[in-house]
Structure formats: C-alpha cells, structure tokens
Structure 1
Amino acid sequence: MTEDNRLTSVPAQTVRDASSQMLQKQFYAIFTTPTDGLEPVFANMDAHLEFQVGLEKQGIMFAAGPLWSDDEQSWQGEGMVIVRAASAAAARAIAEQDPMHKAGARRFRIRPWMVNEGSMTVRINFSSQTFDVN
C-alpha cells in the first residue's frame, strides 16, 4: 500500500489466482532501443533480421516488430520481440545473442508477459494458395 492507501502492487500469484480460468501463457517481451542513433541500427539490420527469422523457425519467437512514434509517422529505432522462454534468464540469453545487441547498436529490457485474453484467426484459401492472419 502507498501512503494514500491505494493498492499499487500485488504478488504475481494473486493475478494468476484471479485469472485461473484463462490461458496464462507466459512469454517474455524484449524491448529494444538504439544506443547511439540509427546508423548503427541500420548497419546491423540484416544480421538482426536473419537472427529473428532463425528464432521464428525454431519456434522461439512469438512475434516481433518495430514500435512507431506515438503519432505513427516515424520510427526512432525501437522494437519489441516476444519470445517463448523458460525464464527471464533464458529470455536474456536469447536477447544477448541478437547481433543488434552484441554490436552495441541497441540495448534491451525484458518484461515477463502473461497472455490471458485475445484471439487470432488464420484463414487459408486452398484454391488461391493464399492466407490471411487477423
């Protein structure tokens, strides 16, 4: 409790108990930000994307991509990568292997993320051999 008696934090288990009927799938969000402008980011982009595709093929990556500016008009080099990992330490080991981080072009922060709600639809059209993900 804070001085004004507002509850500002509870143990993670309290949240798990309150949402026990939901998915409760644990992921780790890796927030990545440039350390010295965008030139080093672009210099490491090919190796970074190759690494990301490797994570995807191994089933480690759930999702990843750039974070736009609040007005959605520009990119300052920030990104987010959601990974499947056994622990925060394992997620850190994954992030440390990213060529972007190894080169020092970006630094990262990891936050545990429990998915409870949401949905995803995949539509496969056999005749046109196309798909749509929503």
Structure 2
Amino acid sequence: MVAWTEYKEGAKARGALALELYAAVSTPAKEPQDVKAALPDHLAYQAELERAGALALAGPMSDESGENMQGLGLIIYRAESLEAAHALAENDPMHKSGARSFVLRRWMINEGSLNLSVGLSTHTATLS
C-alpha cells in the first residue's frame, strides 16, 4: 500500500494533474418521505456550496443496469483537506437530518477532459 501523499507526488512527477477532490457517496438511511422532506434544504445547501466554489459536481446515480434509480448520490467537493470535506458533507441537511448517510474518499484527478462552449452573443454555455 502507498501513502496518499507519496502517490500524489509520484503522479505529479509523472506529469499527471494530481488534482485532489473529495467524493461522497450518499445513500438513503431513512424512509423516502424523510429524504423528500430534506430535499429543499439539501438543494439550497448545494447551491450555496456551488456559489462558494466548494461543490465541483453532484447528482444521482443509477443502478448497475443503468436503467433504474437506486437512491445513490455522488457529491464531489473542493476542500483544503479531508477533514474540511467531511465537514461539508456532515453539514448537508440530508446528512445532518439522518435522511441519508455518506462515505467520503479522496479522489485524485489525473487524466480526462472537459469541453466548454460559451456563446457570447447568445449568453449560453454548454459543458460536455
């Protein structure tokens, strides 16, 4: 097993991006009505984190078939440390209320690409 900091430094030395983010897999812990009741506050919190630059990506996940929603959610945080990301996840109203629980892991982004198209006269942006 390799220590996280050693792995990160090795990735950087190889020319990888080595961008450290934090991935929370959120699962229902109570009844569907409890999750639904916490949803408005959860969405407001997510929007607040997005405005502050602490939320990179978030959304629901399907089951393994890709056809059905199973209640899992994935939230990717930008934070200074695992502890800071843990505090962000704990303060999510879904988790704070106990409607959902989460598992948090560090995630190192090394490869990949994003495409952003900005329409200047149309005031549109498309991310793919």
Name the TM-score, length of structure 1 as normaliser. 0.86
In the alignment, which of 26, 34, 41 is matched to residue 32 of structure 1? 26
Distance 2:36 2:126 in 1: 30
Distance 1:91 1:14 in 2: 20
1:126 aligns with 2:112: no
From the two aligned structures, give the one with the greater helix fraction. 2
- Residue in structure 1 matched with residue 67 of structure 2 by the alignment: 73
Tell me the alpha carbon deviations over residues 61-109 of structure 1, each in whole angstroms, 9 at most, x when there is no partner.
1111111111222222210111111111111111111000111000111
- Residue in structure 2 matched with residue 61 of structure 1 by the alignment: 55
Letter of the aligned partner of 2:121 in structure 1?
Answer: S
Which has the higher Rg, Structure 1 or Structure 2? 1
In the alignment, which of 109, 112, 122 is matched to residue 106 of structure 2? 112
Deviation at 1:38, TM superposition (A): 2.0
Distance 2:82 2:7 in 1: 20
How many positions carry a matched residue from both structures? 126
Distance 1:14 1:131 in 2: 35
Partner-residue secondary structure (3-state), 1:110: strand
Deviation at 1:28, TM superposition (A): 0.5
Letter of the aligned partner of 1:128 in structure 2?
Answer: T
- Residue in structure 1 matched with residue 9 of structure 2 by the alignment: 16
**Structure 1: tracts of 5 or more residues without a match:** 1-8
Distance 2:77 2:118 in 1: 25
Partner-residue secondary structure (3-state), 1:89: helix
Letter of the aligned partner of 1:45 in structure 2?
Answer: L
Distance 1:50 1:88 in 2: 23
Partner-residue secondary structure (3-state), 1:95: helix
**Structure 2: tracts of 5 or more residues without a match:** none
